[in-house]
């Protein structure tokens, strides 16, 4: 537990009376007149400490005074991050939050401030449903999703290989090789990748399938070899399987391809 953020009187043994507001309130009026809030810089989406309204890495009486100034002094600057000032985490910023800070500092019977509390390391707001997004944990891209088959068959004109296509230009170039022209199926390369395998066989008793893709970038490919007499050789083929991998632009390249030979029967291919 990191207690360095706590201001003076954080140790209960050092706290004074249970209800100090009678002594503090008159002082606040004077301090509000004498204290003009400066700027408190809290970048949105960053870890924060609840109650550190003036952003000086300590929660003490100055934060309550700062907040009261923001609330009641004409011309005071707005709060940079409301989550920091929402000391009681009720989704609003008002005088009750200043009271919560003072209670935390001076009332031994008061509950701790909600997380991320001054008694904990800086963190994110555990109640991101409130109106303040600045203290919420940033939402990253969605994890890689499933494989959606775009095309499969046995007559590709592309050279044998494992392909990873990450842009419209790469995709169009591959499609020209594969199909000899035409417009490739639309793919959203802001989020997705295209994976293709192409392999030629001396007859038509084989097919290949992109079976799975792991978030670490491992692509599992199955090559099916059809056992006689289920599949007598018919003609040379260049089999292919082309899939779009949703939300895979975040997967570090290069991908690895692991092929497994499968003897199976009967036809047709998967």
Q: Which of 52, 83, 125, 209 binds Ca ion (CB under 5 A)?
A: 52
| Binding status of residue 88 toward Ca ion by CB under 5 A | yes
**Which stretch, 30-38, 59-67, 146-154, 209-217, contacts Ca ion (CB under 5 A)?**
59-67
Residues in contact with 102: Cβ distance below 8 Å, sequence separation at least 6, in sequence order? 20, 21, 24, 61, 64
CB of 139 to Ca ion, least distance (A): 24
3-state secondary structure of 238: strand
Burial code (b: 16+ CB inside 10 Å, e: under 16) for 154-165 equals bebebeeebbbb
Q: Taking a C-beta distance cutoff of 8 angstroms, is the pair 249, 192 a contact?
A: yes
187 closest CA partner among 207, 199, 171:
171
| Binding status of residue 209 toward Ca ion by CB under 5 A | no
Q: What is the 3-state secondary structure (H, E, C) of 143-173?
A: CCCCEEEEEEECECCCCCEEEEECCHHHHHH
Q: Taking every pair of C-alpha atoms in the chain, what is the biggest distance, in angstroms?
A: 98
Q: Judged by CB under 5 A, how many residues of this single chain contact Ca ion?
A: 10
Q: Which of 90, 115, 130, 162 binds Ca ion (CB under 5 A)?
A: 90
| Binding status of residue 192 toward Ca ion by CB under 5 A | no
Q: Which of 63, 82, 83, 209 binds Ca ion (CB under 5 A)?
A: 63
| Binding status of residue 154 toward Ca ion by CB under 5 A | no
| Binding status of residue 155 toward Ca ion by CB under 5 A | no
**Which stretch, 29-37, 96-104, 130-138, 213-221, contacts Ca ion (CB under 5 A)?**
96-104
| Binding status of residue 156 toward Ca ion by CB under 5 A | no
**Which stretch, 25-33, 82-90, 210-218, 228-236, contacts Ca ion (CB under 5 A)?**
82-90
Cis ω on the peptide bond leading into residue 266 (within 30° of 0)?
yes
| Residues binding Ca ion (CB under 5 A) | 52, 54, 56, 58, 63, 86, 88, 90, 92, 97
């Amino acid at each position: 537990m990191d207690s360095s953020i706590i201001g003076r009187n954080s140790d209960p043994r050092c706290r004074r009376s249970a209800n100090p507001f009678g002594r503090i309130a008159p002082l606040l009026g004077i301090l509000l007149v004498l204290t003009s809030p400066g700027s408190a810089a809290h970048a949105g989406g960053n870890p924060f400490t609840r109650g550190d309204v003036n952003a000086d890495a300590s929660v003490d009486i100055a934060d309550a005074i700062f907040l009261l100034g923001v609330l009641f002094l004409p011309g005071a600057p707005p709060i940079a991050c409301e989550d920091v000032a929402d000391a009681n985490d009720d989704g609003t910023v008002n005088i009750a939050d200043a009271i919560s800070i003072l209670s935390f500092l001076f009332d031994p019977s008061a509950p701790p401030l909600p997380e991320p509390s001054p008694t904990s390391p800086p963190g994110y707001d555990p109640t991101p449903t409130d109106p303040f997004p600045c203290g919420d944990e940033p939402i990253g891209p969605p994890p890689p999703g499933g494989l959606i088959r775009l095309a499969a068959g046995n007559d590709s004109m592309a050279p044998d290989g494992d392909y990873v296509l990450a842009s419209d230009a790469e995709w169009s170039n591959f499609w020209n090789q594969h199909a000899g022209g035409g417009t490739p199926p639309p793919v959203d390369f802001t989020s997705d990748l295209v994976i293709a395998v192409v392999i030629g066989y001396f007859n038509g008793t084989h097919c290949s399938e992109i079976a799975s893709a792991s978030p670490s970038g491992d692509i599992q490919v199955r090559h099916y070899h059809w056992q006689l007499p289920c599949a007598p050789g018919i003609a040379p083929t260049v089999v292919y399987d082309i899939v779009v991998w949703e939300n895979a632009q975040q997967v570090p390249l290069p991908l690895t391809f692991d092929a497994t030979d499968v003897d199976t029967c009967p036809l047709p291919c998967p």
